[in-house]
Amino acid sequence: MASPILGYLDPEFLAVMDNTMALLRHLFQTENELSITLPGTGMSAMEAAVCNVVQPGDEVVVGIHGFFGQRLAEIVERHGGTAVRVEVGFGQVIRADQIEVALDAHPDAKMVAVVHGETSAGIRQPLKDIGKLVREREKLFLVDTVCSLGGAHIPVDEYLIDICYSGGQKCIGGPAGISCITLNDRAMAVIDSRSRPVDTWYLDLTLIRKYWLSDRGYHHTAPGSLIYALHEALRLVQEEGLQERFARHQKCGDLLKAGLTQLGLELFGDPENRLPMLTCVMIPDGVDDAAVRGRLLQDYGIEIVGGFGPLKGKAWRIGLMGYSCSERNVHYLIAALREIL
């Protein structure tokens, strides 16, 4: 973050961009040429993934099992599309046959969108069966991995994902304020065949692609420091090894869940599909949510967060992502919670 800045067209900076793309392809486990960063947070990537595809009147099937699925549907509608909502309860996952019913009812739908790591509920959405179904129906498959990329196995090409994005600061361990996205040729062909330009100029991938891939045309001033930092984070991901990194997240997540259970706390959501990097646990009866979180932060320097939506005031959410995902941190939190509770 503190390295000197180069011009956004400096040959040495262009080389950093090229390396960043190569590292992103490794992380996304994809051959997609267009694997790039976007100059905004993970939410800008969510908007870019939607607004580049959706034109007014388009239908998109959106799987919803928490806050971020709802947001995806809202963004589809902001851009004039219709969100066909396939909604399951908080803590559940969306089944492929539920998506199939929606596609049968909406055969013209252009895309199916789901959130892989639903941080609001601590749930990991299975992708493989939905990916096959969506490809058979010749739709696009969009997957949000803001919470999970870098901490769980998400092979974009193998799972037949057409558009996938993430933030910089979660399991990748880079800075906030930058995000990354990958799109395959199927997705770009749909975008290139739009009948009108994308309504959001800043996130128009046909313009951003020119800067990253072809004529290096000016679109925005690259956030150099953020790209350097994300590049370094991605290099560390590669150095650790993808499978080793996923295993670390799984091991620490399992350790945390075991520790919480030993404390007598109840984990939230479908036991078969809990995220490793984000654990959602019910607050015991009679325990003061804010007081416990305040003591953790003040006395132990540990920040855990409250529940979202229907879990507000009822659950805690505990992240173990990237650098912070260590056995030592798990032991420390469990010890602190034991003392406080």
Judged by CB under 8 A, the residue of 20, 52, 169, 184 near a copy of itself is: 169
Q: Shortest distance, CB of residue 12 to a copy of itself, whole angstroms?
A: 10
Q: Shortest distance, CB of residue 37 to a copy of itself, whole angstroms?
A: 10
Judged by CB under 8 A, the residue of 62, 86, 203, 311 near a copy of itself is: 203
* 327 CB-side CA count, 13 A: 4
Q: Shortest distance, CB of residue 211 to a copy of itself, whole angstroms?
A: 12
Residues 17-76 that bind a copy of itself (CB under 8 A): 39-44, 46-47, 51, 71, 74-75
Question: 145 near 151, Cβ under 8 Å?
Answer: no
Alpha-carbon distances, residue 62 vs 76, 77, 98 (angstroms): 9, 11, 11
Judged by CB under 8 A, the residue of 197, 241, 309, 313 near a copy of itself is: 197
Contact mark string toward a copy of itself, 213..232, x via CB under 8 A: ------xxxxxxxx--x---
Residue 339 as a binder of a copy of itself (CB under 8 A): the answer is no
Binding site for a copy of itself (CB under 8 A): 1-2, 5, 7-8, 10, 39-44, 46-47, 51, 71, 74-75, 78-80, 167, 169, 175-178, 197-203, 219-226, 229, 303, 305
